[in-house]
Amino acid sequence: MAMSAMIASPPSYWLTDSGSSHHVTPDTASLNYDIPYNGTEQLFVGVGKGLCISHTGHALIHTSNATFLPNDVLLVPKASHNLL
């Protein structure tokens, strides 16, 4: 199997999660403005695992009915989904 076939592409859709405390994306391309994150906080997922935050920024999300500009989006490269 080719190496490129083993690398999953980032999700292009956003999941709404009413239990989420932050907006999260694993994809740098989802942010239209980002700054490096130098803090020590991590994003903790359901199994108790902490994931490192690399940047924070603003996203631009287009839907068929509206455009959203969430602020303070966390870039978490090891996150599996975009979360609102």
pLDDT at 2: 46
Candidates 28, 17, 20; CA nearest to 58 is 28
pTM of the entire structure? Answer: 0.81
What is the rounded CA–CA span in Å between residue 70 and residue 79? Answer: 18
Query: What's the half-sphere exposure (Cβ side, CA atoms, 13 Å) at 27?
Result: 17
pLDDT at 26: 94
Question: Positive or negative, the Cα torsion across 54, 24, 10, 51?
Answer: positive
pLDDT at 10: 65
Phi first, then psi: what are they for 77, rounded to 5°? -55, -30
Residue ranges, the chain, pLDDT below 70: 1-10
